[in-house]
Chain A
């Protein structure tokens, strides 16, 4: 059976530093997989490599059985992989609506001619882009719609910026969504709500999700599978319950137990 995403022997080095090495794993359609690991473990690098921002040193990445290694980020997105950023990177001076509209770029096709002659097809597509954007934004309740649609993104609170970033990723109509610490900086109530929404992203929108997260409650609540990275090396994979009692994982997070040290 073929997998949605397959990572084969992936290695990434930054001038001597092994940010990732010997990474082998796969993601199946409809899964929610969490990638965890201490700071600097290489989690974000892993996402950057998939989305084409970082070139792997060796190994391969297959998406629906096709290699996506060496593709430009926009080509990767067009194939159906969307992402968010750990340090929220919206288009701050574009409105909330425009942020979501612009992300539909690779799913739309009207060009200069359509815009200049205001063809029927152009108007229809613009209308669809707007409708889509509104529909996606209303997934997050009333926070990002209404009068908010025309406000620049920089007025949003931190939590709302994270939500908008997810909305923007949704707008590229992906098969696979990479969320880099989606609940970082949110309060418990917001966290619980977003955890629920991540579940809905799969059940209602049909996205497969890979998520980097430090908040273990979120990891426990939503993920089918957990992958643990430490110093660029995968040290454990499995369900949350298996992984959380794995001695290597405990060691990576808490340090070597005292009795072993002597």
Chain B
């Protein structure tokens, strides 16, 4: 990047108006869209700063900031002259924000004069009230024009700030919002640590930070970020620079530390945090399983929920006294073992017919199988066996002989999920670095060649299906024991899709990636039916899932915490360039020409 020459800042009013109007228009459309899907109204209930700012307004405010930032970004190509970011860019942001505000202005005027609540359910006085903050049309319009222009300008000025200032500003704002979002979790934890007074100090009675505490939190977060700057990176680099026994020692220390935290923390946490973490854990189990199928073996299985269902139903049938057909009422452990075996068999049964298909065809067929399994459990035909839409209820908790974990005991459930997650991580980790794992990678790279190199691709792929199914059945069994019942509608296609999104956003083929993905998506946004930290989102979370997926595909297709292999794959050019800079490559182009010239000389 040092190659880029800096020209003096361009003239302030010499703006690229087409660029501004284009981004401004997109900004306007986004604002109107977000308003009309009802996000601000829904999220207005969640206060970030009480009473100044609600999450509803945040859901609108970030839009001009982002577009202001984007519109004033210069694409810097090496060797090209780029003007230094300056006043002109700040104005670009301002104008972009201002253009964007006309979307809301038109919306306010429209809502004031017409009533089309019929197709657009969120059109109407409540939204109008929210947008004008109840102060009348004129104030609302002028307010949004000013706010949006200011926010656009703020977004654009991020370019102008020095890196340190940018760090301070962004960590202050993001840190403050995170603390506000984490309110319920922190509240829950504080009781265990006897820190209620701190919570009372930070948070307002009816939720959200108080004005004063918001400022303090922002300052603290900025200070922490500045102080920690570079330290984390350095520690990481130091760790990876270690070799042999020292590295091993630190790995053990790190592992023991992490283990201690995850084991001890829940003891202090109340029901809220524990059940949140249990949700994360159940989806982590599912995502780890799917990661083996999709991330390692490269089989795009869209019907993964089928194995979750098989695990859940097997456990329910075997343990519940209410099971309509066959109710042996055995304990959780034997039931789990049987469920695992049954899920493995289901893996073989679904895998065998689809395994010879490739790519899209396989995806469609597995999608079908996933639905078939759900519809079978739902059907009248199997109602005498599995209870149809009423499902099976009264599934007892987990009986381990020395202790009993009932589904209503969040701490117990958490430890159960933790144990199985640890097991699943171990399984994924060991298999990845084994003969079987290598054969999966080879199949993902080039199936035909893998077969020609002596790999029985059918067996290897079936194994991937079976291992994936087994991990899903863990999740199914635990979920059923926790909820105490099982219904076909818990196994909608949506579950498969969300697990896939977790794997993709986290990082395909990367175990840390899948863990981070589960925490970020399931923990914050929530699963298909499970609430996350931001439970106000409700069904809007699907919108966020979709938007996030599109964003990731465009900006970071390798995922949040990618595996080294995948980031190499997706950034081959950069990797080769690095190798070239380090002098690692070999130029043999010139030699090749002489080779072919001489080769022709020597023919029969």
Binding site for B on A (CB under 8 A): 36, 51-53, 72-74, 77-78, 82-83, 85, 89-94, 98, 101-103, 105-108, 110-112, 114-116, 118, 122, 125-126, 129, 151-152, 154-155, 157-160, 168, 172, 185-191, 214-217, 243-244, 249-250, 253-254
Contacts and interface: CB of A to CB of B under 8 A. Distances in A.
Contact of A152 (B437, B439, B457, B565): B565
Interface string B437-480: 11101100110111111111100000100010000000000000
B455 A74 contact: yes
B191 interface: no
A253 B452 CA distance: 31
A178 B103 CA distance: 68
**B453, B591, B602, B603 — most chain A CB neighbours (10 Å):** B453
A190 B591 contact: yes
Given A102-B438, A102-B442, A151-B584, 13 more contacts: A53-B448, A74-B457, A83-B452, A89-B448, A105-B438, A107-B454, A110-B434, A115-B430, A152-B575, A154-B568, A159-B588, A186-B595, A188-B598
A236 B23 CA distance: 71
B449 A89 contact: yes
A118 B596 CA distance: 51
B204 interface: no
B441 A91 contact: yes
A215 B442 contact: no
Given A105-B439, A116-B430, A187-B592, A249 B454 contact: no
Contacts of A112: 431, 434, 436, 463, 467
Contact of B595 (A77, A187, A254): A187
Nearest to B568: A152
Contacts of B241: none
Interface residues of B, number: 50
Q: Which label, helix, strand, loop or mixed, suits the secondary structure of the A interface?
A: helix
B595 A74 contact: no
10 shortest A-B CB distances, which residue pairs?
A: A106-B454, A187-B591, A115-B434, A77-B454, A91-B445, A187-B595, A157-B586, A102-B438, A73-B451, A73-B452
Contacts of B449: 85, 89-91
B452 A78 contact: no
Nearest to A125: B435
Contacts of A51: 452
A72 B431 CA distance: 25
A105 B436 CA distance: 9
B408 interface: no
A101 B438 contact: yes
A259 B445 CA distance: 54
Contacts of B446: 89, 91
B349 interface: no
14 contacts: A74-B454, A82-B453, A83-B452, A93-B565, A102-B442, A102-B450, A103-B453, A112-B431, A115-B431, A116-B431, A154-B576, A185-B596, A216-B602, A254-B604
Contact of B445 (A53, A93, A172, A249): A93
A235 to B, nearest CB: 12
B439 A118 contact: no
